[in-house]
Amino acid sequence: MKNILITGGAGFIGSHVVRLFVNKYPHYNIFNLDALTYAGNLANLADIENAPNYTFLKADICDFDAICRIFSQYSIDGVIHLAAESHVDRSIKDPFAFARTNVLGTLSLLQAARLSWGEDVAYKRFYHISTDEVYGALELDSPQPPAPYGREFFREDTAYAPHSPYSASKASSDHFVRAFHDTYGLPIVISNCSNNYGPYQFPEKLIPLFINNICTGKPLPVYGRGENVRDWLYVVDHARAIDRIFHRGTTGSTYNIGGCNEWKNIDLVKLLIRTVDRLLGRPQGSSDHLITYVSDRAGHDLRYAIDSSKLQRELGWQPSLQFEEGLEITVKWYLENTAWLQNITSGDYERYYHDMYANR
Ligand code: NAD
Ligand code: DAU
């Protein structure tokens, strides 16, 4: 493979994947296809935008004709598909946007790849990036510390049981990807990852939103009782896993990716407060009063936890950072990149945010 199309490369995870591939594989041509929705931001890639092996293509994955032209014009032979509507709260407000991009957009890419590649798929690959949310929710009774095996964890053979419009749309796209493998022999691979955190995450997601709010003294809206559990992974470790799976994963397979790092939301929020206050030189406890319990997210999944032993065993991947270390790097990054944050927390986003939280 030589000409790699990465979709959603101007978003959070996509920008880390583009950066890793552009820097690590100078012999590849990396095409970053992105519609630049509210979540896409070319400033995320300012450091590599002039690299000789990097090209940005502004396009909507739902525009089938445009996607077919891109496959033909650039002789695309590998796809890493991250473009998506990705925020659960938005999916509750506007499920159609999620069906459009996540289901129809994925279908459009699959069909374009199939038509472009025909029978000649020996050195082709369509890699679909998905989420652990397709598996539904787990109970809270996990052993501590979490063991890497057992029925309490999402495994690759766990039945799909999505609850939100977002996870339903991602589950649907996963099924289409597998159907194209089973029906047409498209050489696909899928990974399902747990919650990512790190630099360049759009500040509607828990960690960047709360860092920003702690800095600016705004309320921290904790949904329900803050009892929900997520398995957090540093975004660069996700990008490293994507690199391994893209190059060495078995065609037709699924790989789960996770941090083996479960945190109850309220404990994570308290750790965030301690970290931000310490780094800003504030007395400990000075931001505790910002914690504000608000009404719960509809259909809020109780617990996610990934068993990533297949990926570790078959491809030798391991998370590289301890969570406290990754969180410290992340908080410092947001504190040092206030211009990036201010740029996207003004204007439309500010209005959206007020609208979203006004009634909670
Ligand atoms: P993001 O919302 O930060 O970025 C999504 C990107 O896709 C943006 O650049 C946006 O402009 C682009 N995009 C959206 N609609 C498009 C369209 N119709 N055509 C072309 N581009 C479009 O998302 P993220 O958090 O980086 O997630 C990336 C992928 O990883 C998604 O598929 C998501 O489901 C999956 N994922 C995310 C996480 C997480 O914790 N964030 C975890 C597991 C899996
Ligand atoms: O598990 C992978 C998924 O992780 C990805 O597929 C999604 O794209 C990504 O957005 C993320 O989904 P979550 O819904 O888990 O992430 P979010 O950051 O929105 O919320 C994390 C937890 O924090 C969740 O239990 C809801 C809670 N929360 C979130 C926000 C934004 C709050 O309590 N208050 C908030 O304001």
Q: What is the pLDDT of residues 260-299, one digit of tens each?
A: 999 999 999 999 999 999 999 999 999 999 999 999 999 9
Report the pLDDT value the prediction gives residue 344, as an integer from 0 to 100.
85
- Does residue 106 have a pLDDT over 70? yes
Atom of ligand 1 nearest to the CA of 132: 43
- Does residue 143 have a pLDDT over 60? no
Report the pLDDT value the prediction gives residue 138, as an integer from 0 to 100.
92
pLDDT tens figures, 296-322: 999 999 999 999 999 999 999 999 999
If one residue of 6, 13, 20, 172 were mutated to test the ligand 1 pocket, choosing by the most ligand atoms within 8 A of its CB, it would be: 13
Q: Specify the pTM.
A: 0.96
For ligand 1, atom 33: residue with the closest CA: 86
Atom of ligand 2 nearest to the CA of 170: 6
Is the CB of 129 inside a 6 Å radius of any atom of ligand 1? yes
pLDDT tens figures, 146-179: 544 444 899 999 999 999 999 999 999 999 999 9
Atom of ligand 1 nearest to the CA of 170: 34
Is the CB of 176 inside a 6 Å radius of any atom of ligand 1? no
Nearest ligand (C-alpha, residue 99)? 1
Report the pLDDT value the prediction gives residue 329, as an integer from 0 to 100.
98
Ligand 1 centre to CA of 274 (Å) is 29
pLDDT tens figures, 202-249: 999 999 999 999 999 999 999 999 999 999 999 999 999 999 999 999
- Does residue 100 have a pLDDT over 80? yes
User: Lowest-confidence range among 15-19, 148-152, 153-157, 187-191?
Assistant: 148-152
Three-state SS string over the chain comes to CCEEEEECCCCHHHHHHHHHHHHHCCCCEEEEEECCCCCCCHHHHCCCCCCCCEEEEECCCCCHHHHHHHHHHCCCCEEEECCCCCCHHHHHHCHHHHHHHHHHHHHHHHHHHHHHHCCCCCCCEEEEEEEHHHHCCECCCCCCCCCCCCCCCECCCCCCCCCCHHHHHHHHHHHHHHHHHHHHCCCEEEEEECEEECCCCCCCCHHHHHHHHHHHCCCEEEECCCCCEEEEEEHHHHHHHHHHHHHHCCCCCEEEECCCCEEEHHHHHHHHHHHHHHHCCCCCCCCHHHEEEECCCCCCCCECCECCHHHHHHHCCCCCCCHHHHHHHHHHHHHHCHHHHHHHCCCHHHHHHHHHHHCC
Ligand 2 centre to CA of 248 (Å) is 30
Ligand 1 centre to CA of 288 (Å) is 32
Report the pLDDT value the prediction gives residue 296, as an integer from 0 to 100.
97
What residues are annotated to the active site? 132-133, 166
Nearest ligand (C-alpha, residue 219)? 2
Band the pLDDT of 140: cuts 50, 70, 90. Answer: confident
Ligand 2 centre to CA of 207 (Å) is 9
Ligand 1 centre to CA of 61 (Å) is 12
Report the pLDDT value the prediction gives residue 349, as an integer from 0 to 100.
67
